[in-house]
Amino acid sequence: MASPSLSHALPVLTAAALSLVAACGGSGPAPAPAAPSPTPTPPQPNLVVVLTDDLDFPTAPRLTRLADLVASQGLAFTHAYITQPLCAPSRASILTGQYSHNHGVTGNRAPSGFVAFRKQEADTLATWLKAAGYRTSLVGKYINDYATGADDSYIPPGWDDWFGHLGDTEDGRYFDYSVNDNGNAVAYDSKAEDYSVDVETARAVSFIRASAGRPEPIFLYLAPESPHTPASSPGRYAYDFRDATCPRVPSFNEGRSVESKPSWIRQIGPLTSAQIDGCDTLEVHRLRSMEPVQDEIAAVRQALADTGRLDTTYLFFTSDNGLLMGQHRAVGIKGNAYEEAARVPLSVRGPGVPTGAVDQLVLNLDLAPTLLELAGVPVPGSVDGRSLVPFLHGTPPSSWRSEALIENWANGPWWALRTPDFSYIHNSTDELELYDMKNDPYQLKNLRDTVDPSVLDGYEQRIKALFSCRGASCRDD
């Protein structure tokens, strides 16, 4: 019989030889590399927003504990602006990331306020974060006029836990008020233990502690009504800030320079001694009413630490608008484009957030996309704001917003454009103002009549472009 050819035998011999070599520990072809393990998705962080009511930028630095609780441990945004400096429009912008001309909430009362916002409630931070797995809670003030046109048991979509302050009157903010507690209207009295900020603190802490051991991240929207008038405070702070006054800055009780101001300022007249005393008294009460808010933040932080959540929580602190407190002769006035009304404190602490300050122009519209990006949630195309996450991660973007639109439809309309160097204001009376913010930060010298008209026309054209923006076209990338 013929022997098999070498070509047929080779594969058999080679296989056998390879088996022998492997058995003897010799080297051979490297095994196929194992498939790489998928990169684990980082857990979603917890998100806490503390939103005060009418806290102006000049007043915030007087609250020294606030700096220790938030700003000194993270980033302070020193040029944060409200796109419509009025409570309901601002709150709507925070929850939707939109300008007033897009979300449609242009005032505090029906048919605006809560009545108008109901059309937007299906698309807010609450619904977006809940859909992404967050357990959500609102404690405090929701939006002005809540719940006009609805039952007092009405809870907006997206909220797992609801403790919303009912009513919109100027009194009843701190004592003698009612709350929708998860569908049940509960009345509070005027006893010391009924003080609204303390009640809300207990509720926020309860929500955090009830979340211990649960796998879901939390989103807590905590909205005390301090320091809004009547700026009541609990007895334990009755002697604080006794010597405080309204800021005695160059624009306080402004003199002859109001001649270049719009008619609504000129009509106020110089403040009398009695009016100045009243301004100082109001500022004392406003500061005292913020003491319990600092207690509230401390208690929330402690509850987060006790439940193992603090190190994975981003804490935001800001206000819905500012307030003129004697500047330009106006006391307790908002809804205008002056710095004291439109500029607010904004600070953020959390994992990886560097310490320091950011002087870029940021807006209340930016909170929604920031929170969504931190949560790993795609930002809807309807959002007008830009995410601040690059700043929070210590990698500021190479380009940023070069101008900010400030609008008002409640007592106007009027509109303004804030750039890093200038503030341009077109009042409802068609009176124009232009201020050099680098050399005149207190807005004393109106440059309207000293510049070429084409400069003012340029501002008007930019404002018109922003009026028609929506989504990506608003972001000035």
Helices marked H in 348-452: 367-375, 389-392
Active site residues: 87
List the Cα angle 345/350/353 in 5-degree steps. 80
Between CA 148 and CA 139 the distance in angstroms is 19
Residue 471: helix, strand or coil by DSSP?
helix
Six-digit token string for 401: 């917003």
Between CA 400 and CA 113 the distance in angstroms is 31
* Among the listed residues 233, 254, 298, 315, the one whose alpha carbon sits nearest the alpha carbon of residue 445: 254
Between CA 276 and CA 13 the distance in angstroms is 105
Cβ–Cβ < 8 Å for 320, 87: yes
Cβ–Cβ < 8 Å for 334, 323: yes
Phi-psi category of 276—alpha, beta or left, where left has phi over 0 and alpha has psi -120 to 50? Answer: alpha
In order, the DSSP letters of 78-142 are TTEE-SS-SHHHHHHHHHH---HHHH---SSSTTSTHHHHGGGTTSSHHHHHHHTT-EEEEEE--
Six-digit token string for 455: 């400069």
Contacts of 461 (CB under 8 A, 6+ apart): none
| H or E, element range at 13 | helix 6-23
Torsion of CA 164, 169, 174, 179, to 10 degrees: -30
* Among the listed residues 287, 323, 280, 327, the one whose alpha carbon sits nearest the alpha carbon of residue 443: 327
Cβ–Cβ < 8 Å for 358, 392: no
**Contacts by 459-466, CB closer than 8 A, 24 or more apart:** 459/417, 459/424, 459/434, 460/426, 462/403, 462/417, 463/405, 463/415, 463/416, 463/417, 463/426, 466/99, 466/403, 466/405, 466/417
